[in-house]
Chain A
Amino acid sequence: DTGVSQDPRHKITKRGQNVTFRCDPISEHNRLYWYRQTLGQGPEFLTYFQNEAQLEKSRLLSDRFSAERPKGSFSTLEIQRTEQGDSAMYLCASSLALGTLGGTAQETQYFGPGTRLLVL
């Protein structure tokens, strides 16, 4: 079990630039989540995939944000025209859901180490 991995671990960019983050879930997991965590706050849900389908997006996910999971394996989160307010830790989590909807308490979300973004 290699766990959830994220790349890069740190990213510094200038305002207005585009950035892309990658998440590799645990191999047999069918669900993949993106969360954002700012200083002093808990993680906030952004979006999630079941296999390659993006099933829910938070209102936090503005038009500048796009996420994909093209083959139901790894996922990318792209932020276009970054703003200073985008500075945060971006967390990815994956889980194995046995049903098509909802989840059971046994569906544990395993988190990656996160990508810390700083927009100057």
Chain B
Amino acid sequence: AQTVTQSQPEMSVQEAETVTLSCTYDTSESDYYLFWYKQPPSRQMILVIRQEAYKQQNATENRFSVNFQKAAKSFSLKISDSQLGDAAMYFCAYRITGTASKLTFGTGTRLQVTL
């Protein structure tokens, strides 16, 4: 079974600083996708960034970037120039290819952004 582990239940960052959220996963598959979702308080979950496992280049979306280490099964999220609106739960998720596209989520990291 695939598992996703987020070892940081909570993180804090000052506004305008950079923070990195960790995620590791366990799979025997070679082809899969990885995602980071953001869940603001009392609001719905939205996709932040995604990475195809076959791509060596790390994905980037504006202030959000990932460090994908396939051999280490690691997929961290870096948020640069943190803003108050970045405060949320962040979930790492995994999906294999070729079959049902259900997502397997980690337990989440709560990010606080301070002034």
Contacts and interface: CB of A to CB of B under 8 A. Distances in A.
Do these two chains really belong together in a complex?
Answer: yes
A41 B52 contact: no
Q: Which of A48, A101, A111, A114 has the most CB of B within 10 A?
A: A111
Contacts, number: 64
Interface in A72-120: 91, 95, 97, 101-105, 107-109, 111-114
Given A40-B107, A113-B44, A105 B52 contact: yes
16 contacts: A33-B102, A40-B108, A42-B105, A42-B108, A43-B105, A44-B105, A48-B100, A91-B45, A102-B101, A103-B33, A103-B101, A108-B50, A109-B103, A111-B44, A112-B44, A113-B44
Interface of A: 3-4, 31, 33, 35, 40-45, 48, 55-56, 91, 95, 97, 101-105, 107-109, 111-114
